[in-house]
Every structure is written in C-alpha cells, then in structure tokens.
Homo-oligomer: A and B are copies of this chain.
C-alpha cells in the first residue's frame, strides 16, 4: 500500500515508536536496514515492512519525507520494519547479568558478543537502558533476535539462581582472582556492573567468585562492553 501523506495515521504511529513509552504500549519496535530485517525474518517477528522503493516488496511504500519522519538516521535506510518485542523466557544456559548498564552502544555490543560466545540468557536490571532503544538495536547487528533477554529485579533473580546451583562470577576492579586462573563451572552466571560504579553493593553478596582482568596500572578500568566480552570469551574458550 502506498502512503504519501505525513498526516496518515500509520505514519503517526510509526514515528511515535522513537519513544520508550509508545514502544511499551504497543509491544513493538522499529528495526532499520536489510541486515537487521533479515535476522528478524529468521525469528518471524516482523509485523510490517516499510520502504521508499516500490521494487522492494514491502507492506508499505512511503515518500522520502515520511521515511525521514519515522527514522532518526541521517542516511535514510532502504527498508525498515515494525517488529514485535521478543518473548521473555525464564533464565537458562549460560547467563550474563547486567547491573545498570546505561550506554545503548555498550548494551548492543554486549548482546552481540554474548551470542558470539554462546551465552543463552541476558538479565537486565530494572534500571538498565531500554533494550529497544534504536542505538541498542543497531549495535546488536541483529543478534538481539538470537538470545533470551529479560528485565528483572536482580536480587530476586540471583536468589533463585543460587537455589538452582548456579555459580555466580562477579567483577571488581580492585581485587579478586585473575581471570586466567579461574575455572568456570558449567552452570555459570556472570555479573557485570554499571559503567561508572560497578556492581551494586547489595548484589556483591551473591558472588561465588570475584574475578578481575589484569591490566596496566596506568589504566583504572576497561569499558563495560570490553570487560563483559573478555570474561564471556574466557569462560567459553577454555572449556
């Protein structure tokens, strides 16, 4: 179907998806570009596709002005799609827990690494950045569709995981066991803290092992996505 008016009801709905509030109300979000759409198709979660080009076999063909209104990218994408939010499943497999990650690029990059290193579940604390923020989605490079991501109260979730005999690995810049000396249990959960403040104090009580990544003293800490990725890499590469 062709749409040419900026006042069209559909156009208004789509452009509101930039806001978290409206994504939550409709349980949908926008993805942009062919690679992401391809990955979403594998998952069967696309509701509608929108393009500026008739030949692209989209549900809606729109004008350049309409595409500009929907997307916030400077270079307009050939095709975008409205997706249903992912279903949330109870935690299983290798688990990564993120306590208060704020930077959308960091979260997206961590999701991409988590899939690369065969993690199955990511648990986000309630104060983390919104998973469906467009920058998060873009940085995942489509990997958001290949992993179970849930938002929970971490204290409750950690208590449950202890009962299920999960071994909790936490990070701490100051001390802990050198990561290359760590033996990773099969049932493992890795807990990564916020960019500035690390893991909240009340959650540190759940650590079975505190690990650290050795580094040059001139450097106080690594970027959160880098720490998370190195730990996930190490935990899987030395099995």
Contacts and interface: CB of A to CB of B under 8 A. Distances in A.
A237 B214 contact: yes
Contacts of A226: 109, 112-113, 225-226, 229
Contacts of A216: 115-118
Nearest to A115: B219
Contacts of A215: 116-117
Chain B CB within 10 A, most for which of A109, A116, A216, A225: A116
Given A213-B233, A230-B229, A230-B230, A116 B238 contact: no
B105 A219 contact: no
What is the count of identical protomers in the complex?
2
A193 to B, nearest CB: 16
Interface residues of A, number: 30
Contacts of A222: 112-113, 116, 229
A116 B230 contact: no
Interface string A10-25: 0000000000000000
Nearest to A178: B237
Contacts of A238: 180
Interface in A9-58: none
Contacts of A214: 237
A7 interface: no
Nearest to A223: B109
A191 B141 CA distance: 23
A117 to B, nearest CB: 7
Contact of A218 (B105, B113, B115, B139): B115
Given A226-B229, A230-B230, A112 B237 contact: no
Interface of A: 105, 109, 112-113, 115-118, 139, 141, 143, 146, 180, 213-216, 218-223, 225-226, 229-230, 233, 237-238
14 contacts: A109-B223, A109-B225, A109-B226, A112-B219, A115-B219, A116-B213, A116-B219, A116-B222, A139-B223, A146-B219, A180-B237, A180-B238, A225-B225, A229-B229
